[in-house]
Amino acid sequence: MPYERIKDNELHVGQPAPWSLYDQNNQLLLARGTVVESSRQLEQLMLRGLFRKIEIRDSIAAPPPEARTDDPPTREEIKGLDEIKLGIGDTLHLQSQTEGTSVRYAVKLIGFLRGKGLIVSTPTQDGKVLLMRDGQSFVVRVFSGKSVYAFPTSIFKVTNVPYPHLHLTWPGQVKGLVVRRGARAKVNLIAAIRDARNRAGAASLGNLSTGGCSLSAKNSLGAVADRLGIKFRVTINEVEQYIDLEGMIRSISHETDANGVAVIVYGIQFVDVPAGDQLALTAYVYHALFEESASA
Q: Looking at the structure, do residues 244 and 210 belong to the same domain, yes or no?
A: yes
Q: Looking at the structure, do residues 52 and 101 belong to the same domain, yes or no?
A: no
Q: Which domain holds residue 148?
A: 78-178
- 3 state DSSP class of 275: helix
- 3 state DSSP class of 228: strand
Please write the tens of the pLDDT for every residue from 66-82: 434 344 435 678 888 98
Query: Which strand (E) or helix (H) includes residue 21?
Result: strand 21-22
For the chain, what is the domain count? 3
Percentages of the chain per state (helix, strand, coil), in multiples of 5: 15, 45, 40
Q: Looking at the structure, do residues 271 and 189 belong to the same domain, yes or no?
A: yes
Q: Looking at the structure, do residues 83 and 52 belong to the same domain, yes or no?
A: no
Buried b (16+ CB within 10 A) or exposed e, 35-49: ebeebeebbebbeeb
- Please return the burial class of 186, using the count of CB atoms within 10 Å of its CB with bins 0-12, 13-18 and 19+: exposed
| Domain-embedded: residue 113 | yes
Q: Which of 126, 158, 178 is the last residue of a domain?
A: 178
Q: Facing residues of 256 across strands?
A: 262
Query: Contact, 134 vs 157, CB < 8 A?
Result: yes
Closest to 118 measured CA to CA, from 153, 150, 93:
153
Q: Looking at the structure, do residues 195 and 290 belong to the same domain, yes or no?
A: yes
Q: Looking at the structure, do residues 82 and 173 belong to the same domain, yes or no?
A: yes
Predicted local distance difference test score (pLDDT) of residue 288: 79
| CATH value at residue 134 | 2.30.110.10
Q: Facing residues of 104 across strands?
A: 95
Please write the tens of the pLDDT for every residue from 145-184: 667 788 999 999 999 999 999 999 999 889 887 666 567 8
Q: Looking at the structure, do residues 40 and 98 belong to the same domain, yes or no?
A: no
- 3 state DSSP class of 257: coil
Q: Looking at the structure, do residues 208 and 290 belong to the same domain, yes or no?
A: yes
| Domain-embedded: residue 101 | yes
Q: Looking at the structure, do residues 113 and 162 belong to the same domain, yes or no?
A: yes
Q: Looking at the structure, do residues 189 and 291 belong to the same domain, yes or no?
A: yes
Query: Contact, 104 vs 96, CB < 8 A?
Result: yes
Report the 10 Å Cβ neighbour count for 259.
Answer: 6
| Domain-embedded: residue 100 | yes
| Domain-embedded: residue 232 | yes
| CATH value at residue 261 | 2.40.10.220
Q: Looking at the structure, do residues 215 and 142 belong to the same domain, yes or no?
A: no
Contacts of 86 (CB under 8 A, 6+ apart): 109, 112, 142, 144
The single-letter code of the amino acid at 138 is F
Q: Across residues 49-74, what is the average pLDDT?
A: 46
| Domain-embedded: residue 71 | no
Contacts of 53 (CB under 8 A, 6+ apart): 1, 2, 3, 19, 20, 22
For a pLDDT cut of 90, what percent of the chain falls above it?
A: 34
Contacts of 163 (CB under 8 A, 6+ apart): none
Q: Which of 124, 147, 178 is the last residue of a domain?
A: 178
| Domain-embedded: residue 34 | yes
Confidence of residue 293 (pLDDT cuts 50, 70, 90): low
Q: Which of 122, 143, 178 is the last residue of a domain?
A: 178
Q: Across residues 187-194, what is the average pLDDT?
A: 93
Q: Looking at the structure, do residues 98 and 167 belong to the same domain, yes or no?
A: yes
In whole angstroms, give the CA distance from residue 287 to residue 27: 30
Higher pLDDT, 223 or 293: 223
| Domain-embedded: residue 31 | yes
Whether the per-residue pLDDT at 55 is higher than 90: the answer is: no
| Domain-embedded: residue 253 | yes
